[in-house]
Amino acid sequence: MKRRRRTEILIQGDGHLAKDLAASIAEKYECREISAPEQGMIMVKMRETAKNSLFYIGEVLITEAKVEISEKIGTGLLVGMNEQRASDLAIIDAAYKAQLPETAEWESLLLDEEQQIHVAKAQQQAGLFETKVNFETMEV
């Protein structure tokens, strides 16, 4: 599984999976904190479609952390203020970069979490469609 997909699952999920995976690594390996979780701002780029040019639409608050495990550096970065999840993401990223044996067992857990995210989004979408107004059937 690619890093981007894995990170999206861990961010969009409820947080328990990321916390459990990071805890399993932290209790077995030495996790050296390179930079503590801290907030910052980043500029968000957008593409203007008519001229096909890039511009900055604004700033977004992020939380970032860096951790080292077995001489491999992992980074955790997410939108918003969630220091614990940023640390968990950094530990998981470092574990994958260090190719720790525990990471081989995580793929099925991540796929299950991804399935739960899809189900939750489908339920939310179904709820939105129930409130949708059909203007074609409205009389004037």
What six digits make up the tokens of 113? 């979490």
Over range 49-63, report the average pLDDT: 92
Q: Could you tell me if residue 136 is inside a domain?
A: no
Give residue-wise pLDDT tens across range 6-31.
999 999 998 899 999 999 999 999 99
For the chain, how many structural domains are there in total? 1
Q: Which residues contact 41 (CB under 8 A, 6 or more apart)?
A: 59, 60, 61, 62
Does residue 60 register a pLDDT over 80?
yes
- What pLDDT is recorded for position 81? 94
Q: Residue 76 and residue 91: Cα distance in Å, rounded?
A: 8
Q: Is residue 130 part of a domain?
A: no
Residue % of the chain over a pLDDT of 90: 81
Whether 111 has a pLDDT exceeding 90, the answer reads yes
In which domain, by residue range, is 107 found? 3-120
Residue in the structure block whose two tokens are 């939380």: 63
